[in-house]
C-alpha cells in the first residue's frame, strides 16, 4: 500500500501551462519522480476536493468508465479515460454503512474533475476509484481507514492519492488574496508530513486553517487514515513551492517500488 499528496493546478498540463511551467519546475520534476517511484498499482484511489459531493456525505463514482478533459481551461484535447474498479466501489458502499463517521453514497455521473485529472496525467493508472470530500475534517480519517480495509479484503495493490493544493493566500497576488496564516499553515503541514506525522494535522489551529484558504487538508487526513501505522514508512517530500501564491506539495508515503530509488 502506498499513498501520496499531489497538487492539481491545471497549469501542470503543458498545453495549458505553457511558459508558466518553468516557474513550477520543482513540482513537475517532483511529480515525475513520484510516478517513477509508485510503479503501476492495481488500483488508484483519488480523493479530490473538487469532485461533486455533499456537505455530509462522500460520493464515490460508480460508472464503469470514468472520463474527463480540460475543456473548461481551454484545452479539450487534453482528455483522459479510466476503467472504474467496480469491485472496490461495491465493497466500499457495502461496508460504509457499518463504519461510524463515514457516509458514502453512489454517484452516477462519469465526469472527472481537474483534482483527479491533473495527478493522473502523471501517474500510471490501471483502474480508478474517485471519491469526494465532505465539510468535516476529522471524519476523513475514517474514510481512509475504510479504503484500506477494502483494499486488504480484495487483496488490491492500492495507491491512495490525496489531491489538493495547500494555502491559496501565500502572496498579495494570490488567487484568494494574502493572509500570513497561509505560510504558517503550509509550514506546519509540510513539517508534519516530512516525518509522516499525520496525527499532528488534527492539532493545527483552526484559525490558521481558516486563514490559509487551503483545499487539500481533508484529502491528506484521509490519506493518514489509509496509511495507518505505515504512515511513518519511508516518508518522502519531493517538492514544495508556491510561486503563484498557492502551495504545491508533492510527497509519497509507503515503500517505493524496488530499484526505483537511488
Average pLDDT in the 189-197 region? 95
- What are phi and psi for residue 213, nearest 5 degrees? 65, 45
- How far apart, in whole angstroms, are the C-alpha atoms of residue 170 and residue 183? 6
When pLDDT is cut at 50, 70 and 90, the band that residue 16 belongs to is very high
What is the per-residue pLDDT for 149?
A: 95
For residue 112, what are the contacts with CB-CB under 8 A and spacing of at least 6? Answer: 51, 61, 66, 67, 68, 80, 82, 130
What is the per-residue pLDDT for 147?
A: 97
- What are phi and psi for residue 45, nearest 5 degrees? -105, 125
When pLDDT is cut at 50, 70 and 90, the band that residue 11 belongs to is very high
Answer whether 204's CB lies under 8 Å from 231's CB: no
Nearest to 31 by CA among 186, 189, 222, 239: 239
Average pLDDT in the 140-168 region? 97
What is the per-residue pLDDT for 250?
A: 98
Q: What is the largest CA-CA distance in the chain?
A: 50
**pLDDT(203) > 60:** yes
Could you tell me what percent of the chain has a pLDDT over 70? 95
Average pLDDT in the 34-57 region? 96
Give the tens place of pLDDT for each residue, 87-137: 999 999 999 988 878 999 999 999 999 999 999 999 999 999 999 999 999
Domains of the chain with CATH codes: 2-253 (3.40.830.10)
What is the per-residue pLDDT for 97?
A: 84
DSSP letters along 90-127, please?
HHHHHHHTTSTT--EEEE---BPPHHHHHHHTTS--SE
- How far apart, in whole angstroms, are the C-alpha atoms of residue 1 and residue 9? 26
**pLDDT(262) > 60:** no
What is the per-residue pLDDT for 254?
A: 85
**pLDDT(74) > 90:** yes
Average pLDDT in the 178-201 region? 96
**pLDDT(225) > 70:** yes
What is the per-residue pLDDT for 255?
A: 59
**pLDDT(55) > 70:** yes
**pLDDT(259) > 60:** no
Q: Go through 93-132 and write b for each residue having 16 or more CB atoms within 10 A of its CB, e for each that does not.
A: eeebeeeeebbbeebeebebbbbbbbbbbbbebebbbbbb
When pLDDT is cut at 50, 70 and 90, the band that residue 260 belongs to is very low
DSSP alpha helix (H) spans, the chain: 14-17, 25-38, 86-96, 114-120, 140-154, 180-194, 206-212, 217-227
- How far apart, in whole angstroms, are the C-alpha atoms of residue 144 and residue 221? 8
Amino acid at each position: 500500500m502506498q499513498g501520496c499528496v499531489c497538487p492539481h493546478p491545471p497549469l501542470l498540463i503543458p498545453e495549458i501551462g505553457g511558459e508558466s511551467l518553468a516557474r513550477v519546475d520543482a513540482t513537475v520534476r517532483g511529480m515525475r519522480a513520484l510516478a517513477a517511484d509508485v510503479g503501476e498499482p492495481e488500483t488508484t484511489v483519488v480523493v479530490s476536493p473538487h469532485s461533486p459531493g455533499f456537505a455530509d456525505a462522500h460520493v464515490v463514482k460508480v460508472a464503469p468508465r470514468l472520463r474527463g478533459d480540460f475543456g473548461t481551461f481551454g484545452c479539450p484535447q487534453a482528455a483522459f479515460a479510466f476503467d472504474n474498479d467496480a469491485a472496490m466501489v461495491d465493497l466500499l458502499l457495502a461496508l460504509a454503512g457499518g463504519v461510524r463517521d463515514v457516509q458514502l453514497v453512489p454517484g452516477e455521473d462519469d465526469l472527472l474533475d481537474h483534482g483527479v485529472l491533473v495527478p493522473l496525467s502523471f501517474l500510471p493508472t490501471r483502474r480508478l476509484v474517485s471519491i469526494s470530500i465532505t465539510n468535516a475534517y476529522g471524519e476523513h480519517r475514517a474514510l481512509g481507514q475504510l479504503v484500506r480495509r477494502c483494499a486488504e479484503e480484495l487483496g488490491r495493490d492500492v495507491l491512495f492519492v490525496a489531491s489538493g493544493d495547500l494555502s491559496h493566500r501565500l502572496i498579495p497576488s494570490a488567487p484568494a488574496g494574502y493572509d500570513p496564516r497561509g505560510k504558517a499553515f503550509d509550514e506546519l503541514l509540510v513539517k508534519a508530513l516530512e516525518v509522516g506525522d499525520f496525527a499532528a494535522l488534527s492539532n493545527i489551529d483552526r484559525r490558521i486553517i481558516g486563514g490559509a484558504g487551503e483545499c487539500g487538508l481533508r484529502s491528506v487526513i484521509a490519506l493518514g487514515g489509509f496509511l495507518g501505522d505505515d504512515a511513518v514508512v519511508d516518508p518522502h517530500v519531493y517538492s514544495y513551492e508556491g510561486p503563484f501564491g498557492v502551495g504545491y506539495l508533492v510527497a509519497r508515503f509507503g515503500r517505493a517500488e524496488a530499484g526505483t530509488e537511488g
